[in-house]
Chains A and B, each alone.
Chain A
Amino acid sequence: MNPKTPTIGGKKNLITRRSAIKKMGAAAGAASALTLAPGFVRYVQAQSSAPIKLGFQVHSTGIGAAYGRWYDRTTQAAVKLINEQGGISGRPIELVSEDDGTDPKRGAEVVEKFASQHQVDLVFGTLFSHVVIGAAPRAGELKMPYFVVSEGYHVASGSLNRYVFQPGITDVRSQVSSMAPWIAGNLGKKVTMIFPDYAFGHDHRDYFSAAIAAQGGSIAALLPIPPTESSYTKYFPQIPSDTEVIYHVMVGPGVLTFVKEMGEHYGSNRPQIFGFVDSLEAVDLASPGLEFLEGTYFWEANPRYAGPNQTAFDKFYREKVGVDANGASVSDPKDISTYSHMFGCWETLYVIKQAIEASGYQGPADKARLIEATEAMTGFSASNEHPQGDKLFDGKRHQCYGHQFISKVEGQKLSVVHQTSIEDGQYENDTDYTKQSL
């Protein structure tokens, strides 16, 4: 971890920094008031108290709704906390939420609505990749900073634009790559992959195939499942019998069926099984039919069950969001969170706070400075603000990289058996958004 990493530390620190930034901000405001167009005067005059408006693009309906609900809870909790602690640059956050129906067309419209109707300072929170990719070009054209929480590789791949960041959650390429060494070393080297037959699944296919080959392993078979499928048993015979490890990643409402049917197919006589927890986000591991998962392994970005190695930061975050030690809502133990994704909203909000404060951002005219300040970041330390753990941030790629976890199902709970290093998830590419004009 880089010792120079700017951290948002304890409360004391916060107050002094806030007051310092206030002074800075006032000076900057006074200076810019002289040069800015008339339309911005109102903003500058009100800078000390006017709220920072954040547009929260949320999947309240459509296929992403189960995730969207927890993204919303996490975001509400973080915003409440930040506001209690004095807001951003002394200004409270005003959260404006809009549902995009998990649809790329509506996603683009929502970004437009945020930019020109709600006139927010920044948009964040989008999860599903097709919505991100559908909306990103509009964010770029409207020069609207767009902080996504999607885990897709779209940002780091360089296919989006300078206004799009993903500072709160590691991308799928890095996640997948970092799993290969442990799988090859502990479970086996002949892997059959079962994945949804669309872009998200193909990212897994491509990057895991490459990563396992680099560990001396090989792919026994690839089983793409069409997205319209609701029953899976007929695909299992295509798993070669010499398979040592089944690698599965499914998303959407059919996941429980998938896991159950795999259990019925194999019974106790099964190869090693490794899955991405995406297959079971928002699903209770004690659900009927999931007994079969006992002794299998899962990737987790953030351990759902509070284990013996739980950090104080995780404890704090869990309590604030209202999640119990089993990863369920404190008000309803059957209401399971999307624990391996939603922390991204929390952490992204603190990155936004840090970026706004570091850039002396006052209003929309300072967006370029906000972008540059975010690009200048190098990482975040594990803290209440970054409860998932340390992260590196690559300003050229606009993407952060963190530790990943591998957990074993024991007693219908997940317990962490391995934590990857950030280096395990490194890869080469030459994306450099800073070359694009602002």
Chain B
Amino acid sequence: MDLGPHLLLALLEGTVAAFVLAVTALGLSLVFGVMRIVNVAHGEFFMLGAVLAWFLTSLLPEMPFWGFMLAIVGAPLVVGMIAVMADALVLRRLNYEPEATIVATIGLLYILQQAVLTIYGPDARPVVAPISFRVQFPWFGYSGYKFIAIGAAALLLLAAWYGVTRTKFGLIMRATQFDRETAQAFGVPVKLVYAAVFALGAMLAALAGVLIVPLQQAHYLMGLDPLLLSFIVVIIGGLDSLKGTILAAFIIGISDGIISVFFSPTLAKIIATLAVALVLVFRPNGLFGGRSR
């Protein structure tokens, strides 16, 4: 294939990856930004979203479209409830100390992952896309659902942006993020905000999982990859910057596709990984983050 179409394909692939990654990373970024904790179990919420999507769509085997709609509503709700429970039972008791929450969420990661292994099993299971068609370019064919996924992810990002910048809850959230003590003094129910933010972050990951599952399969170990990528994105984007997170998701997603055009894939991964590390070292607040406080 010529370079032109090859790059077009890489760009398309990168865009799909970027949108889904942006949704996942946005969840991590919210939790990270507002609560100042690293949620290592974030990838497991993504995985739970995918696995629940499989379960919910299989309830309506004859109606893939409605099954998928059920999943897109149901899966984040269930995951959100799990997150609220984790917050109340564990994180709140730890007073959100950074190191302790890392260990606790590693524990949570194991618990969720192994619970899924026990209940759902070790197989990778497919979910039928709600709408499936194939787009034929002159040089290659492309999955139509991927365009749907892009659209859905874009809508989610818009909604999240609106929620954070234009609603009262967004305002409260940003106030808490800016200064926890002062917010509390002004009567912001910080505990409630934290629980809501943690749940929201988990739900975003779960939604990304639901969107991706018709493309990949639901598998109990699928959470590690999005976790690592989200970490990278959040760091590169800068801790306090939702805009930065989304921009970084695009840089990571698209460059991953393009680099693999020119280098041997494994070498490409090595280069990309080192590049991320160096960005972090020389721009510690991310490419788009402001100065640290």
A and B touch in the complex (CB under 8 A): yes
Interface flags for B94-120 (1: CB within 8 Å of A; 0: not) read 000000000000000000001001000
Q: Given contacts A63-B221, A197-B266, is CB(A255)–CB(B124) below 8 Å?
A: yes
Residues of B in contact with A, size category: 35 or more
Q: What is the minimal beta-carbon distance from A224 to any residue of chain B, in angstroms?
A: 6
- A282 close to B (CB within 8 Å): yes
- Among residues of B, the one whose C-beta sits closest to the C-beta of A63 is B221
A230 and B122 contact, CB distance less than 8 A: no
Interface flags for A205-229 (1: CB within 8 Å of B; 0: not) read 0000000000000000000111011
Q: Given contacts A230-B225, A241-B1, A264-B142, is CB(A225)–CB(B126) below 8 Å?
A: no
B134 and A231 contact, CB distance less than 8 A: no
B121 and A69 contact, CB distance less than 8 A: yes
Q: How far is the CA of A254 from the CA of B123 in the complex (A)?
A: 11
| Residue from B126, B132, B143 in contact with A256 in the complex, judged by beta carbons closer than 8 Å | B126
Contacts of B123 in A (CB 8 A): 66, 282-283, 335-336
Identify which of B152-160, B183-191, B212-220, B235-243 touches chain A. B212-220
9 A-B pairs with least C-beta separation? A65-B122, A253-B124, A253-B219, A237-B1, A237-B6, A267-B141, A226-B266, A288-B128, A66-B122
Q: What is the minimal beta-carbon distance from A79 to any residue of chain B, in angstroms?
A: 22
| Residue from B124, B126, B257 in contact with A234 in the complex, judged by beta carbons closer than 8 Å | B257
* 10 cross-chain CB contacts under 8 A: A65-B117, A226-B269, A228-B269, A233-B142, A234-B9, A234-B261, A235-B260, A238-B6, A288-B126, A335-B123
- Among residues of B, the one whose C-beta sits closest to the C-beta of A267 is B141
Interface flags for B249-290 (1: CB within 8 Å of A; 0: not) read 000000001001100111011000000000000000000000
- A287 close to B (CB within 8 Å): yes
- Among residues of A, the one whose C-beta sits closest to the C-beta of B58 is A334
| Residue from B5, B217, B266, B268 in contact with A237 in the complex, judged by beta carbons closer than 8 Å | B5
B124 and A283 contact, CB distance less than 8 A: yes
Q: What is the minimal beta-carbon distance from A409 to any residue of chain B, in angstroms?
A: 17
Q: Which residues from chain A sit less than 8 Å from chain B, CB to CB?
A: 61, 63, 65-66, 68-69, 197, 224-226, 228-231, 233-239, 241, 253-257, 261, 264-267, 282-283, 287-289, 335-336
Q: What is the minimal beta-carbon distance from A246 to any residue of chain B, in angstroms?
A: 14
- Among residues of B, the one whose C-beta sits closest to the C-beta of A290 is B126
- B175 close to A (CB within 8 Å): no
Q: Given contacts A234-B257, A261-B143, A267-B141, is CB(A224)–CB(B126) below 8 Å?
A: no
Q: What is the minimal beta-carbon distance from A4 to any residue of chain B, in angstroms?
A: 43
Q: Which of A229, A234, A287 has the most CB of B within 10 A?
A: A234
- Among residues of A, the one whose C-beta sits closest to the C-beta of B268 is A226
| Residue from A61, A69, A257, A287 in contact with B216 in the complex, judged by beta carbons closer than 8 Å | A257
Q: What is the minimal beta-carbon distance from B23 to any residue of chain A, in angstroms?
A: 16
Q: Given contacts A234-B257, A236-B140, A237-B1, is CB(A253)–CB(B222) below 8 Å?
A: yes
Contacts of B260 in A (CB 8 A): 234-235
Q: Given contacts A233-B9, A289-B126, is CB(A265)–CB(B140) below 8 Å?
A: yes
